[in-house]
Structure 1
Amino acid sequence: MERQINFLRERQMLCAICRHQWAVDLDWIDRWDQAKEMCPGCGTTCEHEDSPRVTVDASDVALVDGKVAQLSWYHTSTQPDWPTRDFDPAAEFTPEARMRMGGDKRFAQWAARQCVKALHVGTYEAAVHNMLRRICNQADQGRQFYLYRVHLKSSVVVRKDWLIDPSDFMGDVGLAEVCPPGVDVARYLNYHEDPGRISLALGREAIDCVQQVAIPLPDAWDDEWVRDAVASLDGASDTPAPAPGKLSRFLPPSSPRAVLGRELGASLANRLPVNLRGKFTWAITFAEGEDPKQWAQRTSNLCGLIEGPSRVLAALDEAEVRVV
């Protein structure tokens, strides 16, 4: 069962002080984060420790216990075989990296914790948001990402009610912390990715099968934008020049082409929902020496994940079903 994808949908806010609940759009939340809005019930702003936060929408179908396993869930990862059957968190770490993490004993403790972490799945919107967050915050720019459509086993036992997002600052949560014996799936209110929607914490055994596509898709979402961007970039000099005035002491030289690339990227980002613009702009940063056509096509393709999700769902419909 697919849900309608809508990055711009309204969110529900709930005030912890006066218990007032109301619907807002993303622009309101952006102003709220800048202390330019207040609770309509009691006048509290975001600066108060008990200030209003997004809460679940009572009409969310994921709140119905019997519907959880019927819904399509999504996840983004750089792993081409997620969820990996024989996951080894230590595989990519050199002896030097292990020492930087505190030595063999502490590294072994860290690796053991990784093996008992819950997996996370959520809405399509949350999966795209997760990819952009990883590119910005976890040095995953340039890595190949994969979008997974996740189908749960019909027999899964869903924990009653829902939790406040239990993840730590790294986005991790121990499976046993949220899924006690006899429970396969826990619902939680996602504060960070597709805020206000339900995401799931679960174990690998709760997943029946997945479908996978490499993202972004290879065909440009907006051919006209690509043509115009390439023409503009080809006409700009790629010779770095120092920043003007006193800034030259602090900033590395930047070419007119790179500056124009950043401007074009920012202009495209302004077409997107306000809560995605910053991460999107970071993800598509034009680097010195980058090929204009490759950059423009990839940037357009990345934008298409947000503006044209039906194309992505169609690609997933054609993808092989892999039993987990």
Structure 2
Amino acid sequence: MERRIDFWRERQMLCGRCGHRWRVDLDWIDRWEQARETCPGCGVTCEHEDSPRVTLDSCDPALDDDRVAQFSWYHTSTQADWPTRDFDPAAVLTPETRRLMGGEQRVSAWAARQQAKALHVGTYEAAVHNMLRRIRDQADQRRQFYLYRVRLKPSVVVREGWLVDPSNFVGDVVLDEVCPPGADVARYLNYYEDPGGLSLALGRDAIASVQRIAVPLPDAWDRDWVRDAVAAFVGASDTDTPVTGKLVRFTRPPSSRTVLGRELGAFLAGRLPVNLQDQFASAAALAEGEDPEQWARRTSGLFHLIDDPTRVLAALDRQDPREV
């Protein structure tokens, strides 16, 4: 069962000081984070420790325990076989790495901690947001990403209620800490990706099957935009602009093609929700020497993951589910 995908939807805010609850759009949140808005109830700004934060929408259908397993959930990863069967994090360690880690006993303890981590799935919006964040923050721009649609086992037991995002500073969650005995899935309020939406922390045993596509789709791009973008590159130099002055030995300015790529990417970013614009602009950066047509197709494809998810869902529908 699919839920309505809406990257632009309003979010609900809750003030930790006065308890006022109200709805806002993403532009209001952007102004709020710049201390240009205040709580309508008490006037507090974002600088205060107990200031308002995005909270869960009380109408979120995933609050219904019986419906959690009926919904489609999503995940993005550079792993082509997520979630990996018989996951062994120590398998890729070299003898030298094992020695530096302190020997086999410490390697085994480290591997057990890795295997104890929960998997994360969320809304379609959260999965796309996660991919863009990784491209910007983890230098994954040139890696192939995959979008997974996840089906849960009908028999899963959902932990009662929901949690505030339990992830640590690197995004990890220990499954046993959020899923008490008898529970397979824990819902949590996602602050960072699709803010205000519900995501799930769960183990591999809670997943029935996944469907996978590579993103962006190879044929889901705007031909007119790509044609115009490629035409704009004609005549643009792929060599550095001459530099003069005292910093000439230390400064390597971008080529005119790179600057043009930034401008074209920024144009598309400006048509997206404000909370995705910086991440998209980073993902759309043109690498030095990159083929302009390949760049334009990839960038347009990334844009349409957000602007028109229907083709993405149709591509997933054509994939045979893989049992986990």
Please say whether Structure 1 and Structure 2 have the same fold, judged by a TM-score greater than 0.5: yes
2:180 aligns with 180
Partners of 1:35 and 1:10 in 2: how far apart?
19
Partners of 1:106 and 1:260 in 2: how far apart?
50
2:312 aligns with 312
Q: Percent identity?
A: 71
1:73 and 2:65 correspond: no
Superposed counterparts of 1:132-151, under 5 Å: 132-151=132-151
> Are 2:220 and 2:311, in contact at CA under 8 Å, matched by a contact in 1?
no
Partners of 2:102 and 2:132 in 1: how far apart?
30
Q: Which secondary structure state, in structure 1, belongs to the residue aligned with residue 3 of structure 2?
A: coil
The CA deviation at 1:142 is 0.9
2:259 aligns with 259
Partners of 1:310 and 1:142 in 2: how far apart?
25
Q: Which secondary structure state, in structure 1, belongs to the residue aligned with residue 7 of structure 2?
A: coil
Deviates more, 1:41-50 or 1:85-94: 85-94
Cα distance change on mapping 1:260 and 1:40 into 2, 3 Å: same
Partners of 1:100 and 1:248 in 2: how far apart?
42
The CA deviation at 1:272 is 0.8
1:123 and 2:104 correspond: no
Partners of 1:46 and 1:171 in 2: how far apart?
23
- Structure 1 residue runs of 5 or longer lacking an equivalent are none
1:321 and 2:316 correspond: no
Deviates more, 1:246-255 or 1:305-314: 246-255
2:156 aligns with 156
1:55 and 2:55 correspond: yes
Partners of 1:96 and 1:270 in 2: how far apart?
48
1:199 aligns with 199
Partners of 2:225 and 2:172 in 1: how far apart?
38
The normalised TM-score by structure 2 is 0.95
> Are 1:185 and 1:206, in contact at CA under 8 Å, matched by a contact in 2?
yes
Partners of 1:92 and 1:190 in 2: how far apart?
31
Cα distance change on mapping 1:289 and 1:18 into 2, 3 Å: same
2:209 aligns with 209
2:44 aligns with 44
Q: Residue 54 of structure 1 aligns to which amino acid in structure 2?
A: V
| 1:173-211, Cα deviation, whole Å (9 max, x unpaired) | 000000111000000000000000100000110111111
Partners of 1:9 and 1:300 in 2: how far apart?
22
- Structure 2 residue runs of 5 or longer lacking an equivalent are none
The normalised TM-score by structure 1 is 0.95
Q: Which secondary structure state, in structure 2, belongs to the residue aligned with residue 300 of structure 1?
A: helix
Q: Residue 155 of structure 2 aligns to which amino acid in structure 1?
A: S
Cα distance change on mapping 1:181 and 1:300 into 2, 3 Å: same
Cα distance change on mapping 1:300 and 1:52 into 2, 3 Å: same
